[in-house]
Structures are given as structure tokens and as C-alpha cells.
Amino acid sequence: MNTILLIVFMITLLYFSVANRLMSYVSILVLQGLLVCGVSLLSLNDMNLVNLGIILLETLIVKAILMPYFIRRVILQNNITREAEPSVPNSISLAITSAIIVLTYIATYYVPLNERINLLYFVTALSAILSGLYFIATRRKVITHVICYVIIENGAFILSMAVGGEMPAMVNLGVLLDVLVSVFLLVIFINKVGDVTEDGDVGGLTTLKD
């Protein structure tokens, strides 16, 4: 079952590469949050119940509900155009994202890993992190950079599960705190950018002067 969930997670990366609407991105975050929650439940069932409960609450409530809701609210309140307006054609983005997944699998397969590290988890995590960085580089709106950062954090979360059920809950909570602070700071930045740029387009930042 974990295999299916992780494969679906990688499919969401492919869908993200061809989606053109911001609300589609928000829906992808919801789905990824649910998938990460399912993977956590199936992978960490040997963990202490308290730690497992904290992790499940984080993945379900924060990743699948609060973060998508918060980002969606920012989009609506700032009247940001619903179109994502990627700077690279969808066909090229799909090809590059597919290449990232395939090359990550090939590279990971030939790199000797500790026997305790799950290969599929490792591939999925690296694919999410690298794809998130690519999406940040090819999306023009600041709000999409926030969304891509959350995707990268999802990859980091899966990477922490690659070593098995020994993941400390405090490490995960530390990552979550870092993400929450980053999202809040970026949202504040979006609100300020809206005063000097049109529709949160990062291209407008080139016109800023002292």
C-alpha cells in the first residue's frame, strides 16, 4: 500500500508540472498532505503512540488542511490572478519533471545505500525536493514559490521516513516550525510586493530601486 501512495505522490509532481491554475496547485497540496499522512500511518505504526499521534495530526491537519486553506485565502484576499503563468511550456515542464524522477531513481539505484534506507522513499523524497526547486525557478508568481516550498518540505518529510520508524518526533516538529515561519514570512512578503508589483509577479521586482 505504501508503494501505491508514494507512486501517486510522484504523479502529483507530474500533474503540478502541467497545471496552469493556482487553485489546482492548492488541491495538489491537499492531496499530498493526505498521501503523506497515509504513508506516515503505514510506515510508523511501530512508533510510540504519542509521537505517532503528533505526526499524524501534523500531516493531516497542517499539511492537508491549514496550509492549503491559508494559501487559498491569501490568493483570494490579494486578488491574485488564478492563472499560474509558468515561464516554461507545459510539455517541457512535464518532460523535465519526468526526467528528474527517472534520473533520481537511476542515480539512487546505483548509489550504495544503508540497508535500512527504503529506496522508494528516498527516490520519492529527492524527486519532490528537486522538482520543487525546478518549479520555483520556472514559476513567476511569488505565491507559487510558497506552494513549491511546501512541496519541498513534503519531500524532506518523506526523506526523514526513509530510514524507518526511528524518526524522532521533535525533529519533525522542528521542520514544521521552520516551514510555518517561512510561509508566514513569505505571505507577508506577498502582501508588501502587491503594493509595488502587479498580481504578485516576481518580474516586477526588477524595477525596484532604493
Q: What is the pLDDT of residue 141?
A: 81
- Do 136 and 145 form a contact (C-beta atoms < 8 A)? yes
Q: What is the pLDDT of residue 210?
A: 47
Q: Which of 7-21, 134-148, 154-168 has the lowest mean pLDDT?
A: 154-168
Mean pLDDT of the chain: 78
Q: What is the pLDDT of residue 134?
A: 94
Q: Residue 191 falls within a domain, yes or no? A: yes
Question: pLDDT class for 93, splitting at 50, 70, 90?
Answer: very high
Q: Which residues make beta-bridge pairs with 83?
A: 21
Nearest CA to 94 among 25, 21, 19, 8?
19
Q: Residue 20 falls within a domain, yes or no? A: yes
pLDDT at position 207 over 70: no
138: how many CB neighbours lie within 10 A of its CB? 17
- Mean local confidence (pLDDT), 73-93: 80
Instruction: Please tell me the total count of domains within the chain.
Output: 1
Q: Residue 206 falls within a domain, yes or no? A: no
Q: Residue 173 falls within a domain, yes or no? A: yes
- In the 8-state DSSP scheme, what is residue 85? -
Q: Residue 209 falls within a domain, yes or no? A: no
The reported pTM is: 0.81
Query: From residue 120, how far is each of 16, 33, 36, 131, 159 by CA, in Å?
Result: 20, 18, 14, 16, 10
Q: Residue 87 falls within a domain, yes or no? A: yes
Q: Residue 208 falls within a domain, yes or no? A: no
More confident residue, 138 or 162: 138
pLDDT at position 138 over 60: yes
Q: What is the pLDDT of residue 182?
A: 65
Q: What is the pLDDT of residue 53?
A: 76
Q: Residue 13 falls within a domain, yes or no? A: yes
Nearest CA to 148 among 66, 26, 39?
26
Residue-wise pLDDT for 168-178, tens only, equals: 555 566 566 66
- Mean local confidence (pLDDT), 141-146: 82
Can you give the residue range of the structural domain that contains 177?
A: 2-201
Query: From residue 172, how far is each of 50, 112, 127, 152 by CA, in Å?
Result: 14, 26, 20, 14
